[in-house]
Amino acid sequence: MDKTQVYSNVKNDHISKRMIHVQLVSKIARTIGRALSLNEDLIEAIALGHDLGHIPFGHTGEEFLNELSIKHNEGFFMHNVQSVRVLTSIENKNISIQVLDGILCHNGEFALKEYFPKKKTTEDFLNDYKICYKNEKHAKKLVPMTLEGCVVRISDMIAYLGRDIEDAVRIGAFDIKDLPVEITNIIGKNNSEIVNNIILDIIENSFEKNYIKLSNQMFEAIVKLKEFNYQNIYYKANTKEDLKKYKNMFDVVFNQNLIIINNNLKKYPIFKGFLNSKTSKYLIETTPTRKVIDYIAGMTDDYFQNEFNKLKNINLS
């Protein structure tokens, strides 16, 4: 509820947080799934779980935690992989392979014109999951094993394209009139039009097919709008000062908590609010470094900032 979608530290309740995005993905995906006679329960389960692994300060925070994970030999950190980890290793939930696979393969950052499900076994899924820690590029090639997973993946993109534009306009990052006419004439002039037009295009081109498809015209418009959003929203969401501040915060919270675990200092929140509730299996099989990564990944923006404020001036060495 209190994790960054795009903009952090903005005092405006109308700016999207991660929970709003997740709900939009679920609603969009279920709308498409209903029209295509797919399994709506499977769609909703994938959609509601797909971003559980997102961390404080969104993709910016993910980059910093990824750097720390690599530095400490824990492999690559990616939120889609962490989402699966939350359900399987941290919370130990009984979730079907189809749901977990849809979550692992959900990354809507990579637009495709056609989404073909890929047949997989449980072993195939587990192998994909393990490889992601070692090969960052592998995660970008993952394809869901179900049509439902494909629907969630494209709905992830639909949900943020227009909504991120609305948020940028709300905080004065740019004027809605700056959107290129050649794109808006096809995809729509605001979030509701963008969502509706893409949904209708998918249904029209995917009905009674064994894959999910966009028209050539709509796909090209989506690619161009994504490029526009990157140049005008995502690359400008944080200043250099913001990035420097966040990096320092991640370094402090990570390093201090690692010292706390290694010295078994049980009075600190990582024990009281996290490790003390974990199973003996998790505690035995998980490295101290991974425990810190899991702890940070589960934090909201405010929790993370409070943790930083508590630990920044404490000498633990």
pLDDT tens-digit series, residues 142-154: 999 999 999 999 9
Query: What is residue 215's predicted lDDT score, i.e. its pLDDT?
Result: 97
Give pTM, 2 decimals.
Answer: 0.94
As a whole-number percent, the residues of the chain with pLDDT over 90 amount to 74
Q: Does domain 18-236 have CATH number 1.10.3210.10?
A: yes
CA 149 from chain centre, in angstroms, equals: 15
CA 214 from chain centre, in angstroms, equals: 23
Query: What is residue 12's predicted lDDT score, i.e. its pLDDT?
Result: 66
Query: What is residue 232's predicted lDDT score, i.e. its pLDDT?
Result: 86
Q: Domain map of the chain by residue range?
A: 18-236, 240-311
Q: How many CA atoms lie within 13 A of 311 on its CB side?
A: 26
Query: What is residue 109's predicted lDDT score, i.e. its pLDDT?
Result: 67
Measured between alpha carbons, how far is residue 245 from residues 61, 72, 238, 287 in Å? 11, 21, 10, 27
Query: What is residue 110's predicted lDDT score, i.e. its pLDDT?
Result: 73
Query: What is residue 164's predicted lDDT score, i.e. its pLDDT?
Result: 84
- What are the DSSP calls for 150-189, one per residue? HHHHHHHHHHHHHHHHHHHHHTTSS-GGGS-HHHHHHH-S
Query: What is residue 20's predicted lDDT score, i.e. its pLDDT?
Result: 85
Query: What is residue 217's predicted lDDT score, i.e. its pLDDT?
Result: 96
**CB neighbour list of residue 47: distance below 8 Å, 6 or more residues apart:** 22, 25, 26, 29, 30, 152, 155
- Say if residues 66 and 77 touch (Cβ distance below 8 Å): yes
Query: What is residue 7's predicted lDDT score, i.e. its pLDDT?
Result: 56
pLDDT mean for each 10 residues of the chain (317 residues): 70 74 94 98 97 91 96 96 97 96 85 93 96 91 96 94 84 81 90 95 97 96 91 84 94 97 96 96 97 96 94 88
Query: What is residue 177's predicted lDDT score, i.e. its pLDDT?
Result: 81
Query: What is residue 149's predicted lDDT score, i.e. its pLDDT?
Result: 97
